Amino acid sequence: MNNENILHDTVIKLETNIDDASPEVLGVTMDRLLKAGALDVSYTPCFMKKNRPAFMLTVICHEDEADELEELIFLETTTIGIRKTTWERDILRRDKVTVPTPLGDVEVKVCTLPNGKTRFYPEYESVKALSEKHNKTYQEIFDIVKLQCEIKR
């Protein structure tokens, strides 16, 4: 695709199956991987040999972070092998902005579509903090932010 609103880059996918770790270990591992720079972390239920239930851990990262994240996976989990693949990807141009609302400022990701129009994605942690501060539901704050984004358009 040749469009200035679509960016191209290369990422690494790290993947391993884990059949003998507690959910607590998996949760901590996800948190640490994200804190260490992973772009995305997910678990998918799967079955391994001998019909053992397991989870497939998938980590997406930039190439310069792959070795550190791979080491973290080995240290935090019981895995004994990690598959590594290089992916090319296309992503929408995006910017982070601060949107003022009647209840306070919220961080918002603004993505530009191929046709030049924009979409607004309120950042989870920012919406969550404001909802806790004002004792409102996450959805109430999310709706307020989306409305403010539409007004500013």
Residues 74-120: pLDDT tens digits?
A: 999 999 999 999 999 999 999 999 999 889 999 999 999 999 999 99
Residues 6+ apart with CB under 8 A from 1: 90, 114
CA distance 43 to 58: 6
Beta-strand ranges (E) seen in 19-82 are 40-48, 52-61
What is the layout of strands, in order, in the sheet containing 118-122? 40-48, 52-61, 6-18, 83-101, 104-112, 118-122
Where does the pLDDT of residue 131 fall: very low under 50, low under 70, confident under 90, or very high at 90 and above? very high
Where does the pLDDT of residue 1 fall: very low under 50, low under 70, confident under 90, or very high at 90 and above? low
Where does the pLDDT of residue 130 fall: very low under 50, low under 70, confident under 90, or very high at 90 and above? very high
**Contact predicate 70/37, CB 8 Å:** no
For the segment 137-143, the average pLDDT, to the nearest whole number, is 95
Does residue 2 or residue 137 have the better pLDDT? 137
CA distance 64 to 82: 17
CA distance 99 to 104: 8
**Contact predicate 78/20, CB 8 Å:** yes
Q: What is the pTM of this model?
A: 0.83
φ/ψ region of 22 (left if φ > 0, alpha if ψ in -120 to 50, else beta) reads: beta
- The CA radius of gyration of the chain, in Å to the nearest whole number, is 19
Domains of the chain: 6-81 (3.30.70.1380), 93-152 (no CATH)
**Contact predicate 26/43, CB 8 Å:** yes
* Least confident residue range of 28-37, 71-80, 125-134, 143-152: 143-152
